[in-house]
Amino acid sequence: MTTTHATHDGSVSNRLAYVALWAAATLAYVGLLVVGREIAAVGSFALLAVVAVGYRRVADVRLDERDTDVLATASGHAVRVFGLTSAVVFPALALASGLGHYTWSAFAAGAATTVTAFFLVWVAAIAVVRGRR
């Protein structure tokens, strides 16, 4: 009976570090936005994004089919959650607005527009991918 041991070439830790940099960029951005530091939020996100992209090049971070599968599955779940939530929330707000119980704020209108744009891009991406197959 032969026992084999996997060698750790660093690719897993490199991928984790790369993802951690993007997570840090996102957390810094959101955290600074929450406390009203918009310029610092954009600056920190841009700086950490440059660091992440540079790290990927220097550390030779390679994403493989496992990563592709994980990203595809996670993306599918995210689109499903946003889709189902939007299918309930925005019609309910439109109905409440029509009945005079809700007034659209600039934030809600912006969120509705952003979600609509997201789904239009998603549908266009599906059409392009299907067209190429």
**pLDDT, tens only, 11-66:** 678 888 998 999 999 999 999 999 999 999 999 999 999 999 999 888 887 777 77
What gap in Å lies between CA 58 and CA 51, rounded to an integer?
A: 10
pLDDT tens-digit readout, 57-94? 888 877 777 778 888 899 999 999 999 999 999 999 99
What gap in Å lies between CA 106 and CA 90, rounded to an integer?
A: 14
Map out the domains of the chain as residue ranges: 9-62, 65-133
Mean pLDDT across the chain: 88
How far, rounded to the nearest angstrom, does the alpha carbon of residue 130 sit from its chain's CA centroid? 22
Query: What is the value of pTM for the model shown?
Result: 0.59
